[in-house]
Amino acid sequence: MKSSRLLSIVLLLQTRGRMTAAQLAAELAVSVRTVYRDIESLHAAGVPMYGDAGHCGGYQLLAGYRTRLTGLSPGEAEALFLSGIPGPAAELGLGAPLAAAQLKLRAALPHELREQADRMRARFHLDAPGWYAQDEETPYLQQVADAVWHSRVLDVRYRRWQQPTDVDRRLEPYGLVLKAGRWYVVAGPGPRTYRVDQILRLTVLDEKFTPPENFDLAGHWERHQADFHARLHQAEALVRIAPHAASRLMGAAARALADSGTPDPDGWIRAVLPVESLDHAHGVFLALGEDVEVLGPPELRAALAATVRALAMRYASG
């Protein structure tokens, strides 16, 4: 454990430059005192680094020092090859560099780790999009990625769901996110999130921008997701559902049923389930047929009753 942490400190300093003991401790999830002891161990092992005190101080490797790729555990070697998803890399124009990097990494691994990495790649395949999701055309993805990397401003024509649908936007692209097979660009001002496949026209401007110093793409996306789900489920329905039909619920409704559902004397489960809207809930519960009873709200129960009556009349007349 300690040897892995020591290697992590060297690699962090090698890739990020000067870091304070507090920053290293936060990155490694250990105490500052532990970092001090680890630094002493690295000094004793001959790793050329120095530390400066004061507000702008920190630890830094001597210029030109690089560690070789050693100390990989079997699990780490397997994970490196599992993390290389060829589809998204190819979409970004990085398919060939990814293949070359994996080839070089494989050649550098000891024989036993190379065999385990090859076994992992042969037995696991990652396919992120859902079964019924069609491949989206994203003709501007590589240009957006290049603008993200080089901090270039974009002038785009963008299609949104609300009126007017087609709008012009000046974007400062902070980062790209791949979610369920679909690419999103997080861009200022705001920042706001845009679907890359909805960009109708794109011009890369000569103008450059400076991303906010404290912007964290992963943290922003996590907050964006939480806000999206909070806005998505703004209504509730009180239902009774047959136990064998519970597995047909998905997402927030399935979690609510598992967390707060209570059994009735007849074995059915009673629960308050979050729904996106009454119209959406109408379709969801109608698909469950006789295995669900909606108790409220009254307007949803009435809508389902009217649909069932209309269906009964249609099939009776046939």
- Cα separation, 242 vs 266, in Å, equals 9
Does position 224 have pLDDT exceeding 90, yes or no?
Answer: no
Is the preceding peptide bond at 211 cis, omega within 30 degrees of 0? no
Name the burial class of residue 232, with classes exposed (0-12), middle (13-18) and buried (19+) by CB atoms within 10 angstroms of its CB: middle
pLDDT attached to residue 294 = 95
Mean pLDDT of 240-260: 89
Strand partners, 272: 238
Confidence of residue 246 (pLDDT cuts 50, 70, 90): confident
Half-sphere exposure of residue 92: CA atoms within 13 angstroms, side-chain side? 24
pLDDT attached to residue 126 = 67
Does position 43 have pLDDT exceeding 80, yes or no?
Answer: yes
pLDDT attached to residue 318 = 60
- Among 55-64, 191-200, 252-261, 280-289, the range scoring the smallest mean pLDDT is 55-64
pLDDT attached to residue 78 = 59
pLDDT attached to residue 15 = 74
163, 214 contact by CB (below 8 A):
no
Does position 223 have pLDDT exceeding 70, yes or no?
Answer: yes
Strand partners, 294: 239
pLDDT attached to residue 204 = 96
210, 193 contact by CB (below 8 A):
no
Q: Which helix (H) or strand (E) holds 68?
A: none
pLDDT attached to residue 100 = 65
Q: Which of 8-22, 84-98, 102-116, 234-248 has the highest mean pLDDT?
A: 234-248
pLDDT attached to residue 191 = 92
Strand partners, 247: none
- Cα separation, 117 vs 111, in Å, equals 10
Contacts of 25-33 with CB under 8 Å at 24 or more apart are: 30/5
**Which tokens go with 53?**
């005190």
- Cα separation, 130 vs 251, in Å, equals 14
- Cα separation, 278 vs 48, in Å, equals 65
pLDDT attached to residue 308 = 93
Task: Tell me the percentage of the chain whose pLDDT exceeds 90.
Answer: 38
- Among 18-32, 109-123, 137-151, the range scoring the smallest mean pLDDT is 109-123
Mean pLDDT of 136-142: 85
